[in-house]
Amino acid sequence: MASPPLAPVESSSSNPPSSPPATGWQGIANDWASDREAFRQVPWGKAMMWIFLLSDTFVFTCFLTGYMSVRMTITSAWPNPSEVFALTIGGREIPLILIAIMTFVLISSSGTMAMAVNFAYRRDRAKTAALMLATAAFGVTFVSMQAFEWSKLIAEGVRPWGNPMGAAQFGASFFMITGFHGLHVSVGVIYLSIVALKVLRGDYERSGNYQIVEIAGLYWHFVDLVWVFIFAFFYLW
């Protein structure tokens, strides 16, 4: 009896057809697991900065929510910001003049930072570095004026645990919120200065990737945006 014919054996040299790339959540998981760009078009550095800023948003939101809860529940008189933060210039008391200048300085720094990102993608190292250092200088100016503001209130007796002008919670709210924001500005100044010097030195020219400037800009714009909320809720309310 004849044996049945054997099935043809495929050549070992033939390669199986490649499977199409996974999409959706599976594609995201594959990208993260293989250390490729997260979410396809978003680089790791930018994705991590957005995650950090999101977490920082929660912290500032808790601070401002706690401050507003205190304002609405205490029975003691809350100091009038127009009087507390007034400066005497030329014999006249001008309310919130220092705070207005600080706000103008910080908003102006957002403009120089945006221009720095623009010139970075044009590969103009000199202008990028100059604008980033100008942004850092605006930050130093802001922190210096904030230090003057702190010194003035401390000299007037305001403390985190007490306040001769009214509600004791005023000092705690002021030093906590403005101090935490001032820390962010100070860190941003160091961050921008380091990136600017590396840009000027040509460290990113070899790779041709100037996304670090945009990532630094995301941080700085966030710091500016947070100050707008602090200015509105703490100094104008």
Report pLDDT for 1.
47
Q: In sequence order, what are the residues at sequence separation of 6 or more whose Cβ sits closer than 8 angstroms to the Cβ of residue 182? A: 143, 146
Report pLDDT for 206.
74
- What is the C-alpha separation between 76 and 85, in angstroms, rounded? 19
Tokens for 161, please give them: 């645990």
C-alpha distances (whole Å) from 185 to each of 82, 138, 161, 188 are 24, 10, 25, 5
Report pLDDT for 204.
84
Confidence check: pLDDT of 235 > 70: yes
Question: In the predicted model, what is the mean pLDDT of the chain?
Answer: 86
| Superfamily grouping for domain 39-75+86-235 | Cytochrome c oxidase, subunit III, four-helix bundle (1.20.120.80)
Report pLDDT for 28.
63
Is the separation of the CB atoms in 65 and 173 below 8 Å? Answer: no
DSSP 159: B
- What is the C-alpha separation between 39 and 137, in angstroms, rounded? 35
Q: Is 209 helix (H, G, I), strand (E, B) or coil?
A: coil
Report pLDDT for 10.
46
Report pLDDT for 12.
45
- The predicted model gives 121-143 an average pLDDT of 96
How crowded is the C-beta side of 24, counted as CA atoms within 13 Å? 1
- What is the C-alpha separation between 192 and 4, in angstroms, rounded? 78
How do residues 147-200 score in pLDDT, each as one tens digit?
Answer: 999 999 999 999 988 888 889 899 999 999 999 999 999 999 999 999 999 999
Confidence check: pLDDT of 38 > 60: no
- The predicted model gives 43-66 an average pLDDT of 93
Closest CA to 177 of 187, 168, 169, 167: 169
